[in-house]
Amino acid sequence: MNRTEDKVAIGELINGWIYRDTGQWDKLAAIFAPDATIEVTWFEGKASEFIAASRKMGTSAISSKHFIGAPVITFSADGSRAVTETNAMIIAMNESIRLGATVHNRFLDNLQKVNGEWKICQRQVVYDCGSFDFPAGIVDIDQHVVGQFPLAYAPLGYLLHSGGYTVQRLFATRNSPLEADIRRSNAAWLES
């Protein structure tokens, strides 16, 4: 596979996130390496466990849709690994409280060829900005709960919290020290 073919394959891989939104769980599993990990607001752990948890979330009052941009790809010197940064937008809804959220974020992924195919080994997220959506009119928002989260993902954190999903820790936001840590870690992984 040449570099152009690799870029096309990686673009298709990253766009495979649609399988989460459409409930195609086997296809979603196929974009990850066997021991892949994922860190998002409501889940940290193995990608296989994330898929099971996403399936369960799909039966709850919370729904979401992701719009995925084209990844910026950096390859390792030998071309066997890559790091991608991809703009994404999450549109989420908690039907039980008639409230939605739109959050702009970036996926920072470590990729590797596994048996000749690109797979995601690690997915981490940087949250850039977010806002509430009011599809059925203005509803009351508990400012104490919203205040527990950085503004960049406070609307999403609030929706998740209201739906029984706990945001366990502080996550990376735009230009934060946590984003810098992810970038350093990804650069080291690319060179290892």
pLDDT at res. 180: 98
What residues contact residue 115 under an 8 Å CB cut-off, 6+ apart?
none
- Residue range of the domain that includes 171: 3-191
Structurally, the chain folds into a number of domains equal to 1
CA atoms within 13 A on the CB side of 185: 12
Please tell me the distance from the alpha carbon of residue 13 to that of residue 32, in angstroms, as a whole number: 9
pTM given for the model: 0.94
- Tokens standing for 33? 């390496």
Along the 192 residues of the chain, how does pLDDT read in single tens digits?
688 999 999 999 999 999 999 999 999 999 999 999 999 999 999 999 999 999 999 899 999 999 999 999 999 999 999 999 999 999 999 999 999 999 999 999 999 999 999 999 999 999 999 999 999 999 999 999 999 999 999 999 999 999 999 998 999 999 999 999 999 999 999 998
The pLDDT of residue 96 is: 94
CATH at residue 152: 3.10.450.50
Residue among 74, 107, 80 at smallest CA distance from 187 = 74
pLDDT score recorded for residue 80? 94
Phi-psi region of 36 (alpha: psi -120 to 50; beta: other; left: phi over 0): beta
